[in-house]
Amino acid sequence: MNGSELLHYGVYFLLTLALSTLFSMGGVGAAIVLVPTFTMMGMPLNLAKAIGLFINSASTITASVMNFFRGVLDVGFAMPLVISILLATPVGAWLSQYVQKEVVEWILVAFLLVSALLLIFSHRETKVVYDKAWILYLIGGSVGLVSGMIGVGGGSLIMPLLILLGFDAKKAAYAISFVIPFSSLGGFATYLSFVHMDWIMLGVVTVAAIMGGYIGDRIMHYNLTPGQVKKLIAVLLLLLSAKMVMKLLHINV
């Protein structure tokens, strides 16, 4: 490997490390920002999507393993979300041919903005209120349908829903980082069937994502209170909605 190749992979490594750390602190995957960033840096879109999905899985699996061993990840609580998302995402992808994608995306932008503002301005006591399995199946099913339809990660949609329903922000983040690998790895396998994979790049960014998942999770667990996690998630949602509005209005930066 020559100097320019080292620099090339080094830049991707640092970018992935920084963004995976930030997003792991909020319990969601970083693919949503990494895919457009990689594309802007010249990576083919489908390759960027495939690598982004794998990165999502790598950083969230790391965080989930840590959380499991700390006793804070309740696999039983997260299972209804996993099952319903796995069932609903392919249905959403199938439905996408009958629904105008732009309309769904504008509804999603409104949802993300309202959620972010409620997370910033509401001072509601965050105690688990609706923790029945049926509501988790309903949330997972609805999120799976929408994320399958428009191709966005499920984590950023489930997170505000769970928090607005009264779930503690950190507990929601622990559960969601367990759900994401299931929804992302299926998508990665699909892309792998038709994308020419750059395996060195995949290896480099995966190491960065695992490190980012570990660092972000430790910061969240020991240095942030649930209130601070809520605010961090709100900021991530605002960034995400800004990115979607720019895409919908065809604004390129």
Partner 1 sequence: MVHIMKKIADWIVDHEKDDAADCTVPDEVVDEWLETIEERKKRMEEHGRTDTQQYEMLSDLEKKVKEIKEIRRRKCHLGKKEG
Query: According to the binding rule CB under 8 A, does residue 198 interact with partner 1?
Result: no
Q: How far is the CB of 126 from partner 1 (least distance, A)?
A: 10
Query: According to the binding rule CB under 8 A, does residue 209 interact with partner 1?
Result: no
Amino acid letter at 220?
A: M
- Identify whether the C-beta of residue 169 lies closer than 8 Å to the C-beta of residue 151: no
Nearest to 55 by CA among 17, 84, 85: 17
Integer Cα distance of 202 and 68 in angstroms: 26
**Between residues 219 and 235, which has the closer beta carbon with respect to partner 1?**
219
Q: Which residues contact 180 (CB under 8 A, 6 or more apart)?
A: 28, 29, 56, 57, 60, 153, 154, 155
Integer Cα distance of 12 and 17 in angstroms: 8
Restricted to residues 218-237, the positions that interact with partner 1 (CB under 8 A) are 218, 221-226
Integer Cα distance of 187 and 195 in angstroms: 12
**Between residues 151 and 226, which has the closer beta carbon with respect to partner 1?**
226
Q: How far is the CB of 225 from partner 1 (least distance, A)?
A: 5
Restricted to residues 156-185, the positions that interact with partner 1 (CB under 8 A) are 168, 170-171
Q: How far is the CB of 222 from partner 1 (least distance, A)?
A: 5
**Between residues 51 and 119, which has the closer beta carbon with respect to partner 1?**
119
Amino acid letter at 17?
A: L
**Between residues 46 and 225, which has the closer beta carbon with respect to partner 1?**
225
Helix (H, G, I), strand (E, B) or coil at 253: coil
Integer Cα distance of 64 and 81 in angstroms: 15
Q: How far is the CB of 75 from partner 1 (least distance, A)?
A: 10
**Between residues 188 and 214, which has the closer beta carbon with respect to partner 1?**
214
Tokens of 198: 């750059």
Cα separation values, 55 from 86, 106, 135, Å = 19, 27, 29
User: How many residues in total does the chain contain?
Assistant: 253
Q: How far is the CB of 76 from partner 1 (least distance, A)?
A: 8
Query: According to the binding rule CB under 8 A, does residue 124 interact with partner 1?
Result: no
Q: How far is the CB of 74 from partner 1 (least distance, A)?
A: 6
- Identify whether the C-beta of residue 153 lies closer than 8 Å to the C-beta of residue 183: yes
Q: How far is the CB of 73 from partner 1 (least distance, A)?
A: 9
Restricted to residues 45-104, the positions that interact with partner 1 (CB under 8 A) are 66, 68-72, 74
Q: Give the binding-site size for partner 1 (rule: CB under 8 A).
A: 17
What residues make contact with partner 1 under the rule CB under 8 A?
Answer: 66, 68-72, 74, 168, 170-171, 218, 221-226
